[in-house]
Each structure stands twice: as C-alpha cells, then as structure tokens.
Amino acid sequence: MSKKRLFLIDGNAFCYRAYYAIRSLSNSKGQPTNAVYGFVTMLNKIIKDESPDYLCIAFDTKAPTFRHKRLETYKITRKPMPDDLSAQMPIIKDIVRAYGIPMFEKEGYEADDIIATISKRAAAKSVDTSIMTGDKDILQLVGPHIVVCNTHKEGLVYDEAKVKERYGVGPENIVDLMALMGDQSDNYKGVPGIGEVAASELVKEFGSIDNLYKNLKKVKREGWRKILEKHEEDARQSRELAILDADVPIEFSLEKLLYGNPDTERLTELFRELEFKSLLMDVMHEDEWVADYKTIFTKDEFKKFLSALKKEKETALDFETTSSNPIEARLVGVSFCWKEKEAHYIPLENKSADTLDRDYVLRELKDFFEDEKVRKIGQNIKYEKLVLLNYGIDLKGIAFDTMVASYLLNPSKLNHSLGDIAIEYLGHKMTPISDLIGKGKKAITMDEVEVERVSRYCCEDSDVTFRLKNILEKRLSEQELDELFYEIEIPLIDVLSAMELKGVALDVGLLGKMSSEMDKTLNSRVSDIYKISGFEFNINSPKQLSEILFEKLGLPVIKRTKTGISTDEEVLRKLAAEHTLPAAILEYRELAKLKSTYIDNLPKLLSPKTERLHTSFNQTITATGRLSSSQPNLQNIPIKREMGKRIRQAFIPESDEYILLSSDYSQIELRILAHLSGDKRLIDAFKKDLDIHIFTASLVNDIPEEKVTPEMRMQAKTVNFGIVYGMSAYGLSRSLKIDPAKAQEFIDAYFERYPDVKLYMEDTIEEARGAGYVTTLMKRKRFIPDIRSENIRLRQFAERTAINTPIQGSAADIIKVAMIDIYNELGKKTLKSSMILQVHDELVFEVLKTELKKVKKIVKEKMENVVELKVPIKTNISVGNNWLDLKELG
C-alpha cells in the first residue's frame, strides 16, 4: 500500500507568482483576472500531476505578526500588494473554497508558521509532505518526511541532501544561515558584510550561532570577527525572526485535509463569470442537454411543420452547407427553433438518404424568409442571408445576431464562435463540427454525413442560438448597448451582405502583367542582396540569413527565439542602421509578400460563378468597431508603395456602362477630436476649411501660414495624427527621425496651441481609469482593464488606447451609419448602382454612368450629415475607370 501524501501550498507565494507570470488578462467587465487564472492553472497542475491525498493552502493576513512586535521595521521595505492583485485575492479564495481545499490563515502569524505547524504534525504521523513555496526560510522544515518544491523554478525539489548541496548546511542550520546573511525581503539585516558564502562557511565551521559567538576568537578573518562582534544582537534577533513557529493555534485533522470533493457547479459559475473558457471546459461535466429535435423527411411532415412555423413571430435558424464560402455553398439542410429545447431540421441534400426536393422546400419557405414581420435570429446570420440570396431569396426581418451581440459586450475578445458563447453564457459544450466532417485534407462535406447526425448538430445550433438570444438581449440592455445593436449593427448586416454578394470586377490581365514585372524586380533585388552580402544564399531561409548577418557580417544579435537568433522585421529595422543588407532584405520581403498575397492571389479568389471578387466584411473583429475584410484583406494593400498603388488599378467596373466612385471622409478623426475636445482653435480651423496641417505647422512653429514649408506640413501632419493615437515623444521621434527631446518640444508646442485637446486627453484617461472603459459618440464601449495596471508599459499602452478608441470608434460608427443610409436610399430609388467596398474611411461604388449625378448627391448628403458635430463633416468624391486612377468630381 502506497504512503499517503500531503501538499501544502503557500497561497501568497502562489498568487504573486501567478500575477507576475501573466501580466495582462481581464474579463469583458474590465475585471483583472491574470493572478486568478495563473493560480488556478498552477493548482490544477499539482492536482493532475501529483494526485495529492491531502491538500491545503495557507495565506497571510493583513494583521501584524509576532515578528512585527520583535522588530518594528520587519517587512517595512516590502511594497504593498498591487491593487489589481489585491482585488483578485477574494476571488482566488472563493475558488479555493469551491475546490473543497481547506484554507488556513491566523492573525498574528504568517502562512509560513501555519505551514510549519501542519507539516510537523503530519510528519510526526509519517505522512510525506511537499511544501510549495519560494521562501528560503521554509527550508528549515525539510526532513525525512518533508520536502520543499520551489515555485520559482519548476522541478527544483529540496530534500535534506539538496539543501546541503545548495547552501552547504543542513536544514537544521538554515536559521543560523539566515541569522548571518539576513533576509532583504523581510527586512532583517543579519550581519552586514556577511553574505551567503561567508555565512555558509561560518555555520559549517561552528555549527550554530551560539557556538560561533562562544568561539568568536577562533574566527580566522579579522574583518569578519569585528563585524560579528559588533552585530551580535542583530544576528541573534535575525535568527529569532527566521525561526518558524510550529505551534500555531489552529484546528485541523488529516481527515479534513483529504482532497477530492470539488463543487463543480460553483467552479462552473465562477469560471464562467471570469470568462475562463479552457478552465470552464475542464471542469464542466458532459451536461444533460435535454432537447427534442425532429428531422423532417416527408411532405406531410413538412406541411405540418410549415403550418406551425407560420404561426410564430420569432425563430432562430441555422443552415448546413457544403462550404464556408457562402457564394459557393450549396444548401444541405436548415433548422428552426422557436422554443427552447425544441428544433426542427429539414435535410435538403444527402448522399446516403432521400430528402425533400430543395427547390420545393425553398419555394414553400420563401414567403416566410422574406416576411419582415417575423423576427429572424442567427449566429453570424449574414452567412444565412448570403446563402439564401444565391437561391433568389432575400432574408428579411433580421432581428438578432448572437455573434454581433457577444462582440459588442466584449469587443476585445478574440473569438465569438457559437461554441465559445455557449460555454460562456450557457455552460454548455457544443459538438465541434470536426466530429462530423473531420479536419484538414481528409475533411468531408456535410452532405456526406449521416442525416440524423447532421440533424442533431444543426438543431443544437439553432436551439443554442435561441437560448443565447434571451440572455444576450438582457446584457445589451444592461450595458446600454441595445440602441447601437438594433439601430446600427443589425441594419448593417443587410448592407454588408449586398456588398459581398455584388463583389468587384478585376483586371486579371493587368495582374498577370504585374506578376511578370514583379518577377524581374525580385530577381534584380536578389542579385543586389548577393552583391551587398558577398554571398549567395536562400533569402527565404531564416537560418541561412542568420548565418550571413551574424556570423559572416558580424552584426549584433538583437533578439533570440526558441529556434535561434531572430531575423524578424523589428530586428532587421534596427540592424538597418548598421548595414545596408537588412534594409535590402526588408524591401525584398515586402515585394515578395505583395506578389504572393495580392498580385498572384487575387485572380485565384475570383468566384467561378460570377467571375468577380467577393471579399468578406467582418463586423466582429476589431476592438474599436471598425470593419475589417478578409479573402482578401483589402485594408492591408500598401498604397504608399508604387506597386501597391498599382494593385488598385486592377479593381475595375463590370463594363463600360459603369464607373467607379470613391468617397473618402476628409480627416474625420481630427474632426471628431475637435468635437470631443471642444478646442476653439481646432474647431475654428475646420469651420474655415483651412488646411489643418498647414494651420498646425504655423501655430507650432509660430510663423505665418504662407511660410510653412512642405517639410513643416509633413511634421505637423504626423503630430496631428500621432496625437489621435496617443503617440509619445519617443514614437514621434522615430516617425520623424528626429531627437526625442525635439519631438517632445513639438508635442509641448502642440498642446500649448491646442490646450483643450490636452485637457480632453487627460480627462478621458481619468474617466477610463474610474469606469474601466471608454465610449464612442454612439455609445460603443471598449473595456480597458490595463488602465489600472501596476505595470507602467501596460498602463501607458492602455492610456493610448483610451485616447484613441473614442475617436477611431466614433469614426467607425459614423461610416457604418452612412453605409446604412446610402444603401437604403439607393434601394428606395431603385438605382442599379451599388456600394461594393469599404476600406478605412472610404466607400467605393460601382455606378451606372447615367446615375452618376444622383448617386454622387446621395453619397455626399448621407456621408456628410450622419451626425451633427461642432465642425463640418467633409468628403472627397472622385471617379474613374479603376480604383487607382480617380479624378475629383466637382
């Protein structure tokens, strides 16, 4: 029979280690959770790896201990616990209670004393005890049944032999060692001038402090002898302070330390509130998902279902298809849920079963889908909308999207998948799609999966979506996000669907020509690189490049990774000051990426059905509220490079009857800054329609506007936009390639001329620190937990985020409302022109030439009158036969 083992955890040591190991983590409410997550992760590792029979945790209290009475300055040099760690301590203790792990703390004593008391009593009963801590003084407890596991260095376990190997003395002499060398963290000094090596030597020779002082004359070194004599009282006091009290008056029995009965319901509740997805999944049991799901195979069953469906005013729906690309997808089946725990699935295509005819089912469902009065609920319902548009059905009455709702509640969260949201709000583990179709190259399509399995999967999706809607709807209202959700984000789904379905035409011939040109350019760059380096090597191999840069050329190593010396962009930019090769490599990489990502890839992304490019516009990605695009990412086309600009030349109208129209907001973020700050000078400049960068340059340089040089304007432009992003003097100095002190002068001069901008920024940071979040003009929220961080780097980044988000987020809100208004107006006037692209502050339209005058009027009016600011909103409208060669339209 194996011996039972006790694990004793120093709770405070665990908390500090967790806090500093994970420096930035919070939930959607802005509540810091880094220490909690780290603590639980370490606790779980002990439970999983060690399977302890007995387990308990000791914590310090805030009250003074008996050691403070002996030494007034005891621990006085220790910094107070960081506020964001202190706030997490009650949660950590709640979790420990939920695990069913006994906790001990006693006023007047430290956690170390409690650990000494419990470990000594357990050892007396021959129970093997492992103490988890980073404190040296605990090593005095090591003995035949007690070891210390160092929390600072994984795998380091101190038994008697290890203590002697490390410190030169046994556990019984650790207090003598501490008496001489002192403990800086606890602020008892020991004997000044006697460090660890000297202390170890003296204790080895004399055996104890008492014996040392009895034989002080035998100390060979005169210097040691003198300071030992002078500081005898300090040494004896330090020894007293180092001795752990193994007789703390606490009640416990080994039976009460038995581990194995966690409260999983409470842990689930806590982890859900903290938004610990992975921990939640670990602790959750396979829940009893009680549900009644029906599969419809016959016309009679379908007619009965349709009759019931038509009585409902609200339903969740989910589609199964053959592709994640809605433009190319075939509809395999549909599910509907209008009551929790009940759902219906209609298979429309399956290779191993007979199904109802797809055309028949869609024909019968068309009126329902297009009925605006019936509220439709979905998860990423834009996908369902696009799939139906392929079949000539326009899904109307879109009322709720759980993905968008989750995003608004926590825009910084990376994943808003249905599975993630279900775990977070319902505590339910959903069936992953890979269970049905597999992964990677061996993956099959949904029409190849057994019907009943697809049915349960699809019904679960619509059921979960329906249940989530009821929860998320309340959360949106509580956070005052319902107006933003229902008046902007939900109507935007129709707009984005239409844009994605329409797509944009490409000049494939031009891209082919550009590809050939780029091949020649890249070959030329390769030759240049070989000449500069003096060697031929594989430029795309980090290993070979590393050898050339650091071994052959002897450049300094900037950064290392697990695989070796780094040659990433940041490293190469720093090395460019040392040698011309890094800059040449950077240019080569940029051109190669441009070719592979856009020039060669865009033609491959054309739809075989439409021969147009259908990019996806993402509503739930950026933390600021801006839209992003993928397949391809149009916002990343580097238009500052000539070849990047030419890529835009490949975006063309569908025929000679059409023309492209671009409408770009003019300095919208600076106009929003003027509005939010109320700065009189800034407002006046925009009202007078001045060139804001020339105006700023004249103010900062204290010269008339007519004397502002192009370089001065460029610097002022960098400062203007840098201020919006909370740029520091260091950041500005790098952008302008000037001295940081000079950059600080620019910033100081800017704030001197625009004092209300400075006040706005300071007020915004303070408001964010108090509330934990910032808001946009249209009440979009972004939580910024690091605004209260003790870590200066994290806090400064959070402050920059707090300054920028209301500005950038308001710009995002404004263009979204403009898109909705323009889309509705084009539809109302039944025009053939379409909005096809949105990139940053720009909208692009494919306009029938005969409608140009009407479209220009609609676009200008809607974009410039979205919201009333203290300054005018202005757009620049231009037209042309491709996206590059546009001429301003007067």
Each residue of 563-577: pLDDT tens digit?
Answer: 788 999 888 988 888
For residue 878, pLDDT over 70 is answered with yes
User: Which residue, 516, 586, 521, is CA-closest to 549?
Assistant: 586
Tokens 């024909």 found at: 363
Quote the pLDDT of residue 193: 75
pLDDT grade for 440, boundaries at 50, 70 and 90: confident
CB 368 within 8 A of CB 345: no
Of the candidate ranges 153-167, 343-357, 660-674, 766-780, the one whose mean pLDDT is the lowest: 153-167
Residue 288: the pLDDT is: 64
Instruction: Kindly state whether residues 377 and 393 are assigned to the same domain.
Output: yes
**Closest to 670 (Cα-Cα) out of 710, 723, 727:** 723
Q: What is the mean pLDDT of residues 196-211?
A: 81
| Structure confidence by residue, pLDDT tens digits, 557-615 | 888 887 788 999 888 988 888 899 999 999 999 999 999 999 999 999 999 999 999 99
User: Under a CB-based contact definition with an 8 Å cutoff, are residues 6 and 52 in contact?
Assistant: yes
Helices marked H in 534-658:
542-546, 569-575, 580-594, 642-649
Helices (H), 352-397: 358-369, 381-390
- Domain-terminating residue out of 208, 239, 257: 257
Distances (CA, A) of 748 to 346, 681, 699, 733: 67, 16, 12, 13
Which structure tokens are listed for 383?
A: 């996908």
Of all residues in the chain, the percent with pLDDT exceeding 70 is 97
Q: Do 209 and 308 have their domain in common? A: no
pTM above 0.85, yes or no: no
449: containing domain: 292-497
Residues 547 and 560 in one domain: yes
663 and 678 co-located in one domain: no
Q: How many Cα atoms sit within 13 Å of 572 on the Cβ side?
A: 18
> Are residues 758 and 627 located together in one domain of the fold?
no
Model confidence at 858: pLDDT above 70? yes
Q: pLDDT tens, 109-126?
A: 888 889 899 989 988 888
Same domain, 398 and 436: yes
How far apart, in whole angstroms, are the C-alpha atoms of residue 83 and residue 746?
35
Note whether 147 and 209 are same-domain residues.
yes
Name the 3-class secondary structure at 333: strand
Residues 333 and 436 in one domain: yes
Amino acid code (one letter) for 527 = S
Phi, psi at residue 488, to the nearest 5°? -120, -60
In this predicted structure, what is the pLDDT of residue 222?
Answer: 75
What pLDDT shows up at residue 64? 72
- Give the residue from 252, 263, 258 showing the smallest Cα distance to 99: 263
Distance CA 456, CA 289 (A): 11
Domain membership of residue 771 (yes or no) is yes
Q: Give the C-alpha separation, 594 to 644, whole Å.
A: 7
- How is residue 26 annotated by DSSP? B
321 beta partners: 331
- Decide if 276 is inside a domain: no
pLDDT digits (tens, 9 = 90+) for 467-482: 999 999 999 999 999 9
More confident residue, 207 or 862: 862
pLDDT over 90 percentage in the chain: 60
Residue 522 lies in a domain: yes
Residues 797 and 878 in one domain: no
- For strands 781-783 and 773-775, give the pairing: antiparallel
Total structural domains within the chain: 5
DSSP state of 135: -
Residue 273 lies in a domain: no
Mean pLDDT, residues 836-847 taken together = 96
Tallying the residues shown for the chain, one arrives at 890
Alpha carbon 14 to chain centroid, angstroms: 25
The pLDDT value recorded for residue 95 is: 95
- C-alpha span between 149 and 42 (Å, rounded): 13
- The predicted structure's pLDDT at residue 742: 86
CATH number reported for the structural domain that contains residue 656 in this entry: 3.30.70.370
Interatomic CA distance for residues 589 and 444, integer angstroms: 36
Residues 219 and 344 in one domain: no
Which residue stretches of 775-883 are H helix?
Answer: 792-828, 852-864
Q: Flag whether 267 is in a domain.
A: no
As a whole number of angstroms, the longest Cα–Cα distance in the chain is 109
- Which residue is listed with tokens 């070849």? 643
- Domain-ending residue, one of 454, 469, 497: 497
Q: Are residues 520 and 605 in the same domain?
A: yes
3-class DSSP assignment, residue 162: helix
pLDDT band at 1 (very low <50, low <70, confident <90, very high): very low
Give CA–CA dist 458/465, Å, rounded: 11
Q: Of the residues 611, 630, 655, which one is the last residue of a structural domain?
A: 611
pLDDT for 184 equals 66
| 785 cis-preceded (ω within 30 degrees of 0) | no
Q: Is the pLDDT of residue 319 over 70?
A: yes
CB atoms within 10 A of CB 183: 19
Most confident range, picked from 438-447, 640-649, 799-808: 799-808
Return the pLDDT at 287: 57
Q: Nearest-5° angle of CA 490, CA 383, CA 825?
A: 45
Min mean pLDDT across 69-83, 148-162, 669-683 is at: 69-83
CA angle centred on 580, ends 578 and 581, rounded to 5°: 105
Q: Tell me the two tokens of residue 684.
A: 């006046």
- Strand 398-401 with 375-378, pairing: parallel
pLDDT at 804 > cutoff 90 = yes
Question: From CA 871, how far away is CA 52, in angstroms rounded?
Answer: 67
Query: Is residue 269 in a domain?
Result: no
DSSP 168: S
- Supply the mean pLDDT for the chain: 90
Which CATH number does the domain housing residue 738 bear?
1.10.150.20
List residues bridging with 345 in a β-sheet. Answer: 295, 335
72 and 192 share a domain? yes
φ, ψ for residue 48 (rounded to 5)?
A: -70, -45
Q: Give the CATH number, domain containing residue 358.
A: 3.30.420.10
Residue in 55, 114, 51 with CA at minimum distance from that of residue 258: 55
d(CA 213, CA 222): 14
SS3 content of the chain, % helix, strand, coil (to 5): 55, 15, 35
Q: What is the CATH number of the domain that holds 538?
A: 1.20.1060.10
Structure tokens at 130: 């492992």
Give DSSP secondary structure letters for 616-633: EEESSS-TTS--EEESS-
Q: Read off the amino acid at residue 398.
A: I
249 burial level (CB within 10 Å; 0-12, 13-18, 19+): exposed
Please list, in sequence order, all residues whose beta carbon lies within 8 angstroms of the beta carbon of residue 193, skipping any fewer than 6 positions away: 223, 224, 227
When pLDDT is averaged across residues 32-36 and rounded to a whole number, the result is 91
- Is residue 283 in a domain? no
How many other CB atoms sit within 10 Å of the CB of residue 497?
23
> Does residue 266 fall inside a structural domain?
no
